[in-house]
Structure 1
Amino acid sequence: MTLTQLEIFSVLADSLHFTIAAQRLGISQSGVSHAIKALEAELGVKLFHRHQSRVELTDIGVRLLARSRTLLGVAETMRQEATDTQGMKQGMLRIGSFGPTSSVRLLPHMIHQYQQKFPGIEIYVDEGPDIQVTQWLRERRVDVGFVVLPENDLDVFPLLDDQMVALLPAAHPLSRLDAVTLSSLCYDPFILTGAGSGEWVIRLFHAEKLQPQIRYRTSQLLSILSLVESGDAISVVAESSLPDCDSQHYVCRPLSPPIKRRIGLAVLDSHQASPAVKAFIALAQQLHSVS
């Protein structure tokens, strides 16, 4: 087997579509098909179930995908360590990001500073819920990711302390309070964010044996703000995700008791991280770091 075959295997496993995988790889669809068939023949197993318009990983395909990504990660680290002797003139950095806190507040400035120092490093960003980012790290789909701490089975680097706040229409009765309880947020239509810390928010309610009246699920912060501004719903979000905590049409209030969260970067194994990853973490700690 070759690293090229393993890369094609990994990309097809992400897209689950031969045409999309071919476009991402910049090769023909038949090239993808031949590479997968050759890999399956060498391994003696079927990696994918073929359907009319898509493919699906087999059970053994799921298991071997993790092994494949481990090998690809080691190969990329070797390449970057070799190029590091030339000043990191080339390489690749795959970042997992979630929600406005990391994707809007933290990441853009980090990438700008990083590319000024290392213009030859290609940067790819995947966005998803925070729980998805941790999964991507374990699957080696990304090299480094923003996570909500703690994460006990990853190597982590704290960057930002934050708090969860109630997001309310400006005219809402609770907006007159200095802080609000989770129980007081269970009587109005509730918006649950589908990105960032949506699952974490719902666990906060369930831990108190509470059930918010979820009417909306959206992954877009602008959609949440629009619904709150119109007076149609309330929400709980991270304070750092908001462009402005108080506006003419909405307000945010701390929760009582306060609910804090800490954002950091994580890698699967810092000892095996590539020079490009280590340089990104070092830069992030220079720009944002908490003890």
Structure 2
Amino acid sequence: MELRQLECFVAVADEANFTRAAARLHIVQSAVSSTIKSLERELGTPLLDRNSKRVLLTDAGAALLPRARATLHAAQEAADAVAEVRGGLRGTLRLGTMTSVRLLDLPALLGEFHRRHPGVVLQTSAVPSGSQGLVDALLERRLDLAFVSVPGPCPAGVTLTDLTSSVLDLVVPAGHPLAGRHSVSITELTGLDFVDSPVGYGNRTVADRAFAAASVPRRVAVEITDVGTGVDFVRHGLGVALLPRFALRETADIATLTVSDADLDWPLSLAVPSEYRPGAAARAMIAMAREFVT
């Protein structure tokens, strides 16, 4: 087996589509197909089921996939070790981000990383299913590293490097009965309509855990994927919201209160798969991210 064969196989398995796999590898689709066929001939068994609407793994393909990922990771580690000796990092770093990462200046961080390590290609992507989707992508080895918000126990299979956090404050319209107060108890929020992120987003998990701990029911009336728009939903009367302080801005038609008796700390961390030691580029990104939040 050749590394290129395994790379093509993993790409098709991840994308469940030959066209998308070819685009990811920057080669033509026919080259992907012929490479997979040569691997199947060498192993003497089909690895992919091409008869369905989506390309699916056969039992043999499912058995090969984790070993193919491990082989590619080991090869990348070997290349990283040589690059470090030669004085420069090389390769590709697949970095996942949340749709809103304003607790640190991500463009500045990535720009500085590129200046220090121009030989590393950064592939960044935001997963629409929030931090849980990013963790899933790490476990499936579709990402090398991801900025996530994972309150509570660390998920199995990943290692977290804590970076920083933000408190979630209650935001209400200016005419709301609570608008004249500075703080509120979580028990006083029963029956209110909330604007919040979908399940799987870190800030939603923080809020859900706080309400569950207080045995207070909560109704989410509007779901948004960008916390930066939360203030606008509140000021237009669509509900109240628990928003991180970095997303708040001065405006006359909202009021902000602290929730005095709830744990509403929203953490930001970098996550890597626990099964493998992070590559040199991932380790460099973790170290630089720490610089940006200290």
TM-score after normalising by structure 2: 0.83
Contact 1:69–1:141 (CA<8 Å) still a contact in 2? Answer: no
Q: Which AA in structure 1 matches 2:108?
A: H
Distance change (3 Å), C-alpha of 1:213 and 1:261: closer
Contact 1:227–1:233 (CA<8 Å) still a contact in 2? Answer: yes
- Partner Cα distance (2:224, 2:110) in 1: 27
TM-score after normalising by structure 1: 0.84
1:16 matched residue in structure 2: 16
1:171 matched residue in structure 2: 175
Do residues 107 (structure 1) and 106 (structure 2) align?
yes
1:193 matched residue in structure 2: 197
Contact 2:191–2:217 (CA<8 Å) still a contact in 1? Answer: no
1:276 matched residue in structure 2: 281
- Partner Cα distance (1:12, 1:39) in 2: 13
- Which 5+ residue runs of structure 2 have no aligned equivalent? none
Q: Which AA in structure 1 matches 2:219?
A: Q
Do residues 215 (structure 1) and 221 (structure 2) align?
yes
1:94 matched residue in structure 2: 94
C-alpha deviation, 1:193, in angstroms:
0.6
Say how many residue pairs are matched. 286
Paired-residue identity, %: 28
C-alpha deviation, 1:45, in angstroms:
5.1
**2:269 aligned residue (264, 284, 289):** 264
1:56 matched residue in structure 2: 56
Do residues 83 (structure 1) and 106 (structure 2) align?
no
1:25 matched residue in structure 2: 25
Contact 2:207–2:242 (CA<8 Å) still a contact in 1? Answer: yes
Deviations 1:138-182 (A, max 9, x none): 222222222335526533322103222223223322232222333
Distance change (3 Å), C-alpha of 1:54 and 1:175: same
Q: Which AA in structure 1 matches 2:234?
A: V
- Partner Cα distance (1:63, 1:182) in 2: 49
Distance change (3 Å), C-alpha of 1:126 and 1:68: farther
- Which 5+ residue runs of structure 1 have no aligned equivalent? none
Do residues 202 (structure 1) and 170 (structure 2) align?
no
Q: Which AA in structure 1 matches 2:195?
A: I
Distance change (3 Å), C-alpha of 1:63 and 1:216: farther
Q: Which AA in structure 2 matches 1:250?
A: I
1:133 matched residue in structure 2: 134
C-alpha deviation, 1:78, in angstroms:
1.5
Deviates more, 1:272-281 or 1:145-154: 145-154
- Partner Cα distance (1:204, 1:74) in 2: 42
1:286 matched residue in structure 2: 291
Helix, strand or coil for the counterpart of 1:177? coil
- Partner Cα distance (1:267, 1:88) in 2: 22
C-alpha deviation, 1:121, in angstroms:
1.0
Aligned-residue Cα RMSD (Å) equals 2.8
- Partner Cα distance (1:280, 1:237) in 2: 28
